[in-house]
Structure 1
Amino acid sequence: MSVELTLLIWSTVLAFAYLGVQLTLYRIDYGVEHANSQRDHERPPNKWTMRGQRALANFLETYGIFIALAVATEMSGRSDGLTQWGAHIWFWARWAYLPAYFIDINQMRSLIWTISFLGLVLMFFGVAF
C-alpha cells in the first residue's frame, strides 16, 4: 500500500477529530437537548462554536481534493517523492491547523493552511506530470 493511501486511511481519524471538536463545542454551547432537537429557533453560536464550525468547513473544502489526489496516485501507480511529501505535508499540516484555529497567534492559521495547500500542489504535480 502506498504512503498516500495509508495517509488517506488515517485521514479518517483526522476527519473524526474535526467532527469531534465541532460537535463537542456545539453541545457545550447549546446543550445536548437542543443539539438533539430540530434547531428551528437557534440563537447565534458563541465564538468557540463558530470556530469549530469554520475549522470543520475549512477541512472539508480541501479533504475532497486530498482524497482525489491520493486515489489518483494509487490507481496510476505514480507514487513518488512529490506525492509522498505532499501527502505528508497536507496530513500533518491539517493536524496542526485544528488547534491553530483556536489559538490567536497572528497569521499562524493562514500559514498552516498555506503549507497544507502546498502539499496538495506537490501531490498534483507528482501524479499529473
Structure 2
Amino acid sequence: MENLPTELAVLTGLMVLAASLWIPYIVGVNTAPPGSLPADAPDGFVRIGNPALHRPWVQRAYRAHLNLLEQGIPFAILVLIVDRLDGFGPLTYWTAIVFFWLRVAHAVGYITGAARLPLRPIIFSAGWVCCLLMAYAVFAARAA
C-alpha cells in the first residue's frame, strides 16, 4: 500500500474538524446558565436550533461551524478532483496545509472572539484564495 498523500491526510483532518465543530455549540446550548434564556424561549429542538437565543460565544460557535462547511466542502471536492487527476504537487501540498491551519485559526478565533475585524474576514478570504489555488490545480492537472 502506498503512502497517503499529504493533501488527503490534511483533508482527513479537516473533515474531522468539520465533523466535530458542532460540539462547542451543543456544549454552549446545554450549559446556558439559569435565567440566561428569555422566559418565553421554547424548549427542545427549537431552542437548540436558534443560536440567537444563546450567549455570544455560542452564537459564534454556530457560525464557525457553518463557515467551515461553506469553505471546507468545496475545498474537499477540489482536493478529490485533483487526486483523481493525479495532479498533486508542491502547490497543492502547501495549499492544503495552509488551508487547514487557516480553518483551525478561524474556528478558534471566531469561537473565542479573539479574531475580530479585520482578522477574521482576512482569514476567511485567505481560505477562499486556497480554494482558488486548488481549482487552478484542477485545471493545470487537466491540461497536463
Equivalent in the alignment of 2:46: 39
Q: CA deviation at 1:45?
A: 2.0
Alpha-carbon distance, 1:30 to partner: 7.3
The answer for the alignment partner of 1:119 in structure 2 is 130
- Equivalent in the alignment of 1:7: 10
Matched, 1:55 2:64: yes
| Structure 1, unaligned runs of 5 or more | none
Report the structure, 1 or 2, having the larger helix content. Answer: 1
TM-score computed with the length of structure 2 as normaliser: 0.75
**Structure 2 residue 15 is matched with structure 1 residue 29:** no
Structure 1 moving runs of 4+ over 6 Å: 40-43
How many residues align? The count is 126
Name the % identity: 23
Is 1:110 the counterpart of 2:121? The answer is yes
Task: Report the AA paired with residue 131 of structure 2.
Answer: L
Where does structure 2 lack aligned partners over 5 or more consecutive residues?
35-40
Q: Deviations over 1:51-91 (max 9, x none)?
A: 11111111111111111011111111000122112111111
CA RMSD in angstroms, aligned pairs only: 2.5
TM-score by length of 1: 0.83
Q: Tell me if structure 2 keeps the 8 A contact 1:94–1:116.
A: yes
Alignment partners' CA distance in 2, 1:63 and 1:119 = 11
